[in-house]
Amino acid sequence: PGTAAVCLGECYKCRTHGHTSHDCPIPPRDRMHLDLRETAWRAMCNQVLGPINRAMATDIRLVIEDEQGKEDGSP
């Protein structure tokens, strides 16, 4: 959920669009990284179906969780 579907030109490390796995901005060992089996699966799917599915991709960029709230003293 919240990441790119398989075979749509996504990064093989963090599951989002806008960069390749070689240029992934997520630090190594971050919890957003895929495990090696999922990375291999996405790479194989992309080799077979990537050119077909890429035209139908919906861009999903990096989403970072952040706590939102009021600062102390604000109304």
Q: Where are the domains of the chain?
A: 1-62
pLDDT reading at 23 higher than 80: yes
pLDDT of residue 1: 45
pLDDT tens sequence across 31-65: 888 888 888 888 888 777 766 666 665 666 666 66
CA distance 54 to 8: 5
Q: Tell me the HSE value of 18 on the side-chain side, using a 13 A CA sphere.
A: 11
- Asked if pLDDT for residue 12 goes beyond 70, the answer is yes
C-alpha torsion sign, points 51, 27, 38, 44: positive
Residue 61 is which amino acid? R
In the predicted structure, residue 11 carries a pLDDT above the cut 80: yes
**Cα 14 from chain centre:** 4
- Which alpha helices (H) appear in the chain, and where do they start and end? 36-53
